[in-house]
């Protein structure tokens, strides 16, 4: 009897290498598992399963975590308007935690002696996977062939060729990770500081050049409808937004940030739905939250994103922050209009019964109804007291 190993499998270059290596070189019974976090169609899932069996795995499963991922994480990233370095919506870093959680539970279910993943030794994913596995399944040993053998992508390609694997090796030069909250793209250009990714490296190409206006409905901070259609819930709204906005090649950018292990990292991404949703949600909050709600939300939202990015999802303080973020969303309900154009989008405006720009109190720069000019003169005098004292004392 061979020992079982559960391989976190995506069908990409790294995990394809692992599937063969674990079987042929380590003589293990390979159980491959792909965790779908909303980035794969049924057709794609079927092709990945076919590929897994063609690589010699004993059993392959698809673990769908899309709804769970939304409920336990994405909604809080929306509430917190989480953008790493004001750019990256944590497209991959957040979903990795939920992929790791699902893999750990599956490995325990099938009685595996080992868990394997295809992370390299230079990125963040190795820490995220290892950390979850060590906490949830400390009795299961972790195998990481790509990291341990310090393999370059070219070496992996040659190994697969030598084992009779036929693929589009030109496409394999790019590492692509798909999920409902966005797709990351890594390649030789992202290893530099100056080169952009080529157009063809991105998964979606420009198909629609006609300007289109869409309307997103939010209820207590969550997107519940697109153009008036509920689409089965927030997950359906996000997936439809991906379909519409990706035709405009919206949501492309390159993120540069600090990795968990202390080096700078650079990765391309395409995240139309997450960027549009976050910006629309933020616009609605500007109208419905107070100044201090906005201020503290920004602090804790950034902190939540940082801890999530660094693999700290299981840290108990994350539940405390989630409670705060959810509580701020009581009045964040309304509709946001967004204009879509090739490669970009614009927020047009909002409608909400909780809009604090209510004209009954006054219009900015125009007139007021709730105070007089004399009130403002006295208020300004008091506000300036401390500064006047400072300059009188210090010259």
pLDDT tens profile 269-327: 999 999 999 999 999 999 999 999 999 999 999 999 999 999 999 999 999 999 999 99
Q: What does the pLDDT look like over 359-369, one tens digit per residue?
A: 666 566 566 77
**Range name among 116-120, 245-249, 257-261, 315-319 with the lowest pLDDT average:** 257-261
Cβ-count burial 302-317 (b if 16+ within 10 Å, e if not): bebbbebbbbbbeeee
Query: In terms of C-beta density within 10 A (0-12 exposed, 13-18 middle, 19 or more buried), how is residue 363 classed?
Result: exposed
pLDDT of residue 359: 62
In this predicted structure, which of 100-114, 227-241, 258-272, 329-343 has the lowest mean pLDDT? 258-272
Classify residue 233 as exposed, middle or buried by CB count within 10 Å of its CB (0-12, 13-18, 19+).
Answer: middle
Query: For the chain, which residues make up each domain, given as ranges?
Result: 4-175, 179-351, 368-394
Mention the CATH class of domain 179-351.
alpha beta
Residue 101 scores a pLDDT above 70: yes
Q: What is the rounded end-to-end Cα distance, in angstroms, of the chain? A: 86
Average pLDDT, integer, range 50-70: 97
> Which residue's entry shows tokens 């949830």?
136
Is the pLDDT at 382 greater than 80? The verdict is: yes
pLDDT tens-digit series, residues 137-189: 999 999 999 999 999 889 999 999 999 998 887 777 788 888 999 999 998 99
Helical pair 291-309 and 272-288, crossing angle rounded to 10 deg = 150
Rounded mean pLDDT, 247-252: 97
Model pLDDT, residue 363:
63
Q: Does domain 4-175 have CATH number 3.40.50.620?
A: yes
More confident of the two residues 186 and 102 = 102
Q: How many CB atoms lie within 10 A of CB 205?
A: 10
Helix residue spans in the chain (DSSP H): 13-20, 42-54, 66-69, 75-79, 93-110, 125-136, 145-149, 153-162, 234-246, 272-288, 291-309, 317-327, 373-383, 385-394
Question: Which pLDDT does position 78 carry in this prediction?
Answer: 98
Mean pLDDT for all residues in the chain? 94
What letters, b where the CB count within 10 A reaches 16 and e where it falls short, cover 190-201?
A: beeeeeebeeeb
Looking at the predicted structure, is the pLDDT value of residue 205 above 70? yes
The confidence score (pLDDT) of residue 27 equals: 97
Contacts 24+ apart (CB under 8 A), 165-173: 165/16, 165/20, 165/54, 165/55, 167/16, 172/12, 172/13
Q: What DSSP designation does 71 have?
A: I
Domains 4-175 and 179-351 share a fold: no
> Please, what sign has the CA dihedral across residues 381, 384, 390, 395?
negative
The sign of the CA dihedral 69, 72, 75, 80 is negative
This prediction's pTM? 0.92
Distance CA 253, CA 278 (A): 15
Query: What is the maximal distance between C-alpha atoms in the chain?
Result: 88
Give me the pLDDT at residue 370, please. Answer: 76
pLDDT at 358 over 80: no
**Share above pLDDT 70 across residues of the chain, in percent, rounded to a whole number:** 98
Per-residue pLDDT, 365: 59
């Amino acid at each position: 009897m061979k020992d079982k190993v559960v391989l976190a499998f995506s069908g990409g270059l790294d995990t394809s290498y692992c599937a063969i290596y674990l079987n042929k070189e380590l003589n293990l019974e390979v159980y491959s598992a792909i965790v779908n976090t909303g980035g794969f169609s049924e057709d794609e899932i079927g092709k990945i399963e076919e590929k897994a069996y063609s690589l010699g795995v004993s059993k392959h499963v698809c673990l769908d975590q899309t709804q769970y991922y939304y409920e336990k994480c994405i909604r809080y990233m929306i509430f917190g308007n989480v953008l790493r370095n004001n750019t990256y919506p944590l497209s991959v870093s957040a979903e990795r935690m939920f992929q790791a959680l699902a893999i750990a539970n599956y490995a325990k279910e099938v009685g595996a002696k080992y868990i394997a993943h295809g992370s390299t030794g230079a990125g963040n994913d190795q820490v995220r996977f290892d950390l979850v596995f060590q906490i949830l399944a400390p009795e299961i040993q972790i195998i990481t062939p790509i990291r341990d053998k310090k393999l370059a992508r070219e070496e992996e390609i040659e190994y697969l060729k030598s084992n009779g694997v036929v693929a589009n090796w030109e496409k394999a030069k790019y590492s692509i990770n798909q999920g409902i909250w966005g797709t990351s793209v890594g390649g030789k250009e992202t290893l530099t500081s100056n080169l952009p990714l080529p157009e063809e490296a991105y998964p979606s190409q420009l198909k629609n050049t006609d300007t289109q206006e869409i309307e997103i409905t939010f209820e207590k901070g969550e997107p519940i409808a697109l153009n008036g259609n509920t689409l089965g819930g927030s997950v359906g709204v996000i997936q439809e937004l991906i379909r519409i906005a990706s035709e405009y090649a919206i949501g492309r950018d390159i993120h540069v940030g600090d990795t968990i292990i202390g080096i700078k990292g650079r990765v391309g991404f395409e995240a139309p739905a997450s960027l549009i949703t976050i910006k629309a949600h933020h616009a609605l909050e500007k109208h419905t939250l107070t100044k201090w709600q906005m201020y503290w939300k920004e602090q804790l939202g950034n902190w939540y994103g940082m801890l999530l990015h660094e693999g700290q999802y299981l840290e108990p303080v994350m539940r405390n922050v989630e409670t705060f973020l959810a509580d701020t969303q009581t009045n964040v309900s309304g509709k946001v209009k967004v204009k879509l154009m090739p490669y970009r989008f614009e927020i047009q405006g909002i409608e909400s019964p909780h809009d604090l720009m209510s004209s009954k109190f006054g219009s900015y720069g125009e007139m007021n109804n709730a105070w007089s000019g004399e009130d403002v003169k006295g208020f300004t005098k008091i506000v300036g007291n401390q500064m006047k004292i400072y300059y009188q004392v210090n010259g």
